[in-house]
Amino acid sequence: MAELLLELLSEEIPARMQTRASDDLKRLVGDGLKAAGLSFTDARTFATPRRLALVVEGLPAAREDVSEERRGPRVGALDQAVQGFLKGAGLSSLDQAEKRDTGKGEFWFAVVTKKGGPTADALPAIIDAAMKALPWPKSMKWGSGTMLWVRPLQSIVALFDGKALAGEVAPGGAMKPIAFGDTTRGHRFLSKGDFKVADFADYAAKLRAAHVVLDPAERKKIILAGAQELAADAQVALKADEGLLDEVAGLVEWPVPLIGTIDAQFMDVPPEVLILSMKTHQRYFATTKTDGTLANRFIVVANNAARDGGKVIADGNERVLRARLSDAKFFWDQDRKTTLESRLPALKGIVFHAKLGTQAERVDRIVKLAGEIAKFVPGADLRQVEQAARLAKADLVTGMVGEFPELQGIMGRYYALGEKLPAAVADAIGDHYAPAGPNDRCPDAPVSIAVALADKLDVLTSFWAIGEKPTGSRDPFALRRAALGIIRIVVENRIRLPLGAFFKAVDLMDFFADRLKVQVREKGGRHDVVDAVFAAGGSAGGRSTGGGEDDLIRLLARVDALQAFLGTEAGKNLLTAYGRAANIVRAEEKKDKGLAVKIAGTSDVALLEQAEEKAVVVALAEVERALKPALAAEDFAGAMAAFAGLHAPIDAYFEKVTVNVTDRPDLRLNRLKLLNQIRATMDQVADFSKIEG
Amino acid sequence: MSAPAKPTCFQELILTLQDYWAGQGCLILQPFDMEMGAGTFHTATTLRALGPNPWRAAYVQPCRRPSDGRYGENPNRLQHYYQFQAILKPSPPDILERYLGSLDAIGIDTGLHDIRFVEDDWESPTLGAWGLGWEVWCDGMEITQFTYFQQVGGIEVELVAGEITYGLERLAMYLFDKKTVYELPYNRADSEVPLTYGDVFLQNEQEQSAYNFEHADTEMLFRHFADAEKECGRLVEKKLPLPAYEQCIKASHTFNLLDARGVISVTERQSFILRVRELAKACCEAWLMTQKEAA
């Protein structure tokens, strides 16, 4: 068993591309090995800013010849098919193939033998193919070459069983080929010259000696441990940021965390601004004090062990941060000279979407919507809701949000607080974009809830109205997120909002139902039960769209009750009984298009001949009596319990009563009416036909 | 022999870079004598990046960005500043090492500082050009833009040029530890007439900012834009790409002035950029034709 070591050394690879590239390299080489019939026990890849490395263990030293049988076209098939078969099998004529009867006719067969031989002979082509297929998000050519790579490729280590493979990569043009070899380089500044490597263990050890930590996971550990130690020495705590840690680990081969100080003059700028500026512009980690607030120290990770222990580097970074934060402080000071209210006219100059007008027009819509929604949000002060909605987008025209778009809302809140606007208004401005995702905080204050709902409902209905609906994976305006946001706000705060009153489009309610189903399913619920409840008639609140349920709280309560009921013996029996009744009615409706009208309403008591029929009518009346108040009180468990007594009479009915009595059309119609009545009664709670047995 | 002295003032920074890149086989050219937004507009970069001929040049280019003017009140934002540009075509395999050599020459000791290559893809919508590369950081500060040109004037390059652009004022502020650009020593402190950057340029920043934002005659500028656009097209037809390209540069700067005066709306802005790009494309195509004919 032998080892393959591959290292592709290049100029600096963007941090965000390294993980994906090393995964791709492993997959592509692995696939190539498998396709060549080469098995292996393990493959691992590593990435640094300058290199992708792959080690494959447990490869055989040589391969056996492999014979493979291929079936070709039917004997007598078109020449084109035959030629294709010959070419694919590497044959020159049909004389080299054989006819065989497969039982489904005579077919041509070929036996293709793949020559075996030393593994080292097969590897260069596999490496070459993997490099050509590696999908960099953006690639370039360099020098006079034509080869595409993420940045100029400099050298390749390709060792099998300790020996350099014979092979090269030609960048093209007048450029020298890059030969496979056993030589690489260490850290750009902390190591001089080339060195030879013998195998992976030797490679990793020599790299470390040359100030390169090959494994990104180890670099992350070093950064984290070093940063935590520096922070602890300064009596602050490192503010965790996994995304930043990943990025920084991709920017350094030899991580050296250093600590610096934020100039005191900037500490009254909102912490979100400082953290974001340090992170996005400088890739610094923030630190916090024991009370959780932002501390005046930051951690920078250098890619160099400087002679002076990093003093010059730390000083330099502090200076750069001063310049950066001066900009931020400038915006903070400037922005506060203008009230949010007086910024509103400027929103007329910002196009929200070509077909949906300006931000000012959007604000008008949100104000109106928020006012209507506020009626359904207990404790929401209408004046505050309208004020917050009107000012919610004003920070888009501040200098700070111009510089840091991610701070939209957050800055509006600070500026509102600075103007001494009510805290509820400021918070609503700050919260109205939330929740941005399943893990984001959900607004819970009444004013915030109204504005956040209005913001999302406007996005949904507006884009829906211009036909910009999400399709498949395409959802450029994040409408799914908006719908999920509405669901979360409504459900988590138990807001009784008749959604149908705000939608014009029927398919928008279906879109909601789909999002809700996903949510219910994720929590272990049954999506068919959601369907059944959504389809049920009767909305107590506003104008319902398809006659379906549009109050999410009531809907979920029904889902819970129905799901619990269906788990009981009585529920299962009733579902069976319902199925029989519905099937018969449906079958008859198919034969007679006009039947539905004829069997609407209640059955005629005078035509009830058998005791079992009368029993069902009595049972239904009882259900109705219990159901009405239970539904009105939204006691869905109670409503379900009312059904419990229904299945026995129905079962007896089906046992004794013939519905389709051929000689008595009046009797038949009345009996169908009764079955339909069963269906209608039960459909008040949920459309049981949607329940999957 | 002792190492050459490190620069101590703005002009020594320029002289050192010129000297260094001359040693790397670059022609030392002079600034292009027209207003432009970046050193890339110089024919020594835009046009020479195209075609089959190798090219190496370095030069200082004054850059004008009318809307960046701050009446001399901002420590480092200027409507007129200098870039030092080196272009090596085709990019040699050791171009990064050569670049790092230039840092050593100007006094950035890589044993004491933290030099980083941070992904930065460059694109110029007006020139129809793009490339991949990095911004180079020194202790967290961007000191250089490094780009491998892939396309210019909408045309894919035959030989890839490596373009190295130093923002001189910012670099000098860092090297000489000054909080504002105006405090930078322009010449040596021990000169007979020692002057600062502010002595030379502060009044210019004040007056040009006033011109850019308040006094530029927009009606005239719109006319100039249209004239330059027309003239450019006419010259391209006459197969005179170099004079045509000058009209393109003129149109581009005129657009920047109009933009600074705030008389171009968001939607118009895009169409102006496209108009300049069309000119740049036509000039580049015409230039390439003359290069091929000469070959």
Say yes or no to pLDDT of B265 above 80.
Answer: no
For A601-643, the pLDDT digits (tens) are: 888 888 888 888 889 889 988 888 888 888 888 888 888 888 8
Quote the minimal CA–CA distance from A313 to chain B in Å. 5
**Which tokens hold the place of A400?**
């700070």
Q: What is the pLDDT of residue A541?
A: 32
Q: Per DSSP, what are the bridge partners of residue A51?
A: A9
Tell the residue number behind the tokens 């974001």, with chain if given. Answer: A276
Q: Could you tell me which residues are beta bridge partners of residue A56?
A: A4, A43
DSSP code string of B213-259: III--HHHHHHHHHHHHHHHHHHHHTT-HHHHHHHHHHHHHHHHHHH
pLDDT digits (tens, 9 = 90+) for A165-211: 999 999 999 999 999 999 999 999 999 999 999 999 999 999 999 99
Q: How confident is the model at residue A76 (pLDDT cuts 50, 70, 90)?
A: confident
Beta strand extents in chain B (DSSP E only): 27-28, 55-64, 80-89, 115-119, 122-124, 129-138, 141-152, 155-156, 162-167
Q: How confident is the model at residue B139 (pLDDT cuts 50, 70, 90)?
A: very high
Nearest alpha-carbon partner for A429 in A378, A380, A393: A393
| A399 interface with B at CB cutoff 8 Å | no
Q: Tell me how far apart the alpha carbons of residues A48 and A46 are, in angstroms, rounded to a whole number.
A: 7
Angle, vertex CA A526, rays to CA A521 and CA A532, nearest 5: 120
Tokens standing for residue A518: 């996903």
- pLDDT higher at B211 or A610: B211
According to the model, what pLDDT value does residue B1 have? Answer: 45
3-state secondary structure labels for all residues of B70-88: CCCCCCCCCCEEEEEEEEE
Distance of CA A539 to the CA centre of its chain: 32
Residue of B nearest to A250 (CA): B118
pLDDT higher at A543 or A523: A523
Longest dimension (CA), chain B: 61
- Burial letters A349-364, b for 16+ CB under 10 A, else e: eeebeeebeebbebbb
What is the reported pLDDT for A412?
97
pLDDT band with cut points at 50, 70 and 90 for residue A537? low
Burial of A227 (0-12, 13-18, 19+ CB in 10 A): buried
| Of residues A15, A143, A321, nearest to B91 (C-beta) | A143
Cβ pair B110:A189 closer than 8 A: yes
Query: How many whole angstroms separate alpha carbon B200 and alpha carbon B196?
Result: 7
pLDDT average, residue stretch B38-43: 96
Asked if the C-beta of B160 comes within 8 angstroms of chain A's C-beta atoms, the answer is yes
Dihedral angle computed from the Cα positions of residues A153, A155, A158 and A163, in that order, rounded to the nearest 10 degrees:
170
CA distance A687 to A679: 9
In this predicted structure, the answer to whether residue A542 has a pLDDT above a threshold of 50 is: no
Contacts of B150 in chain A (CB under 8 A): 140-141
Q: How confident is the model at residue A665 (pLDDT cuts 50, 70, 90)?
A: confident
Mutation for testing the B interface, residue in A10, A11, A253, A308 having most B CBs under 10 Å? A11
What mean pLDDT, rounded, does chain A reach?
Answer: 90
Report chain B residues whose CB lies below 8 A from the CB of A49. Answer: 117
Query: How many percent of chain A have pLDDT more than 90?
Result: 55
Q: Does A339 touch chain B (CB under 8 A)?
A: no
Find which of A103-117, A420-434, B257-271 is predicted with most confidence, using mean pLDDT: A420-434
Compute the distance between CA of residue A474 and CA of residue A476 in angstroms, rounded to an integer.
Answer: 6
Over 80: is that where the pLDDT of A535 sits? no
| pLDDT band (50, 70, 90) for residue B267 | low
- Pick from B90, B112, B116: which is nearest to A312 by CB? B112
Interchain CB distance below 8 Å, A316 and B132: no
A239 Cα to chain B: minimum distance (Å):
20
For residue A182, the model assigns a pLDDT of 97
Mean pLDDT of A509-532: 83
> What average pLDDT does range A527-553 have in this prediction?
63
Query: Could you tell me the pTM of the whole model?
Result: 0.78
CB-neighbour burial class of residue A138 (10 A; exposed 0-12, middle 13-18, buried 19+): middle
| Per-residue b or e along B43-57, where b marks 16 or more CB atoms closer than 10 Å to that residue's CB | bbbbbbbbbeeebbb
In chain A, the residue whose alpha carbon lies closest to the alpha carbon of B53 is A144
Angle between helices B95-106 and B10-23 (to 10 degrees): 150
Test the A interface: residue of B104, B114, B135, B150 with most A CBs within 10 Å: B114
Closest by Cβ to B159, choosing from A144, A154, A189: A144
What does A628-673 look like in DSSP terms, one character per residue?
HHHHHTT-HHHHHHHHGGGHHHHHHHHHH--S--TT-HHHHHHHHH
Contact yes or no for B156/B283 (Cβ under 8 A): no
pLDDT class for B143, splitting at 50, 70, 90? very high
Question: What contacts B143, CB < 8 A, 6 or more positions away?
Answer: B103, B108, B136, B137, B166, B167, B170, B171, B174
Cβ neighbourhood burial of A528 (10 Å; 0-12, 13-18, 19+): middle
Nearest to A313 among B75, B96, B114 (CB): B114
Share of chain B above pLDDT 70, in %: 98
Tell me which chain A residues have a C-beta less than 8 angstroms from the C-beta of B76. 323
Residue pair A77/A99 in contact (Cβ under 8 Å)? The answer is no
Cross-chain residue pair A316–B113, CB shorter than 8 Å? yes
**Which residue is closest to B54 within chain A, CA to CA?**
A144
| Token reading at B256 | 């920047």
pLDDT in tens, A326-358: 888 988 998 999 999 999 998 987 778 878 888
**Any idea which residue has 């819509």 for tokens?**
A365
For residue A544, name the pLDDT band (cuts at 50, 70, 90).
Answer: very low
Average pLDDT over residues B276-287: 96
Q: Does A192 contact chain B (CB < 8 Å)?
A: no
CA gap B147, A181 in Å, rounded? 29
Which residues have CB under 8 Å from A387's CB, separation 6+?
A421, A422, A425
The string of pLDDT tens digits covering residues A302-318 is: 999 999 999 999 999 99
Name the residue among B113, B121, B131 with its Cβ closest to that of A312. Answer: B113
Tell whether B101 lies on the interface with A, counting CB pairs under 8 A.
no
State yes or no: cis peptide before B90, omega within 30 of 0.
yes
Read off the pLDDT of each residue in B227-240 and give the average, rounded to a whole number. Answer: 97
**Do B150 and A300 lie within an 8 Å CB cutoff?**
no
Residue A546, chain B, CB below 8 Å: the answer is no
Contact between residue A578 and residue A688 where contact means Cβ atoms under 8 Å apart:
yes
B-chain residues near A316 (CB < 8 A): 113-114, 138-141, 174
Non-local CB neighbours of A393 within 8 Å, separated by 6+ positions: A347, A359, A362, A363, A366, A412
- A379 vs A548, more confident: A379
Report the pLDDT value the prediction gives residue A289, as an integer from 0 to 100. Answer: 96
Contact yes or no for A175 and B110 at CB 8 A: no
Check pLDDT > 50 for residue A563: yes
pLDDT band at A362 (very low <50, low <70, confident <90, very high): very high
Mean pLDDT for B134-159 is 96
Per-residue exposure over A168-200, b if at least 16 CB sit within 10 Å of its own CB, e if not: ebebebebeebbbbbbbbbbbbbbeeebebebb
Dihedrals φ, ψ of B167, to 5°?
Answer: -85, 105
Q: Chain-centre distance of CA A436, in angstroms?
A: 12
Average pLDDT (A392-413) is 92
Q: In this predicted model, which residue has the larger pLDDT, B69 or A25?
A: A25
Structure tokens at A145: 């070459």
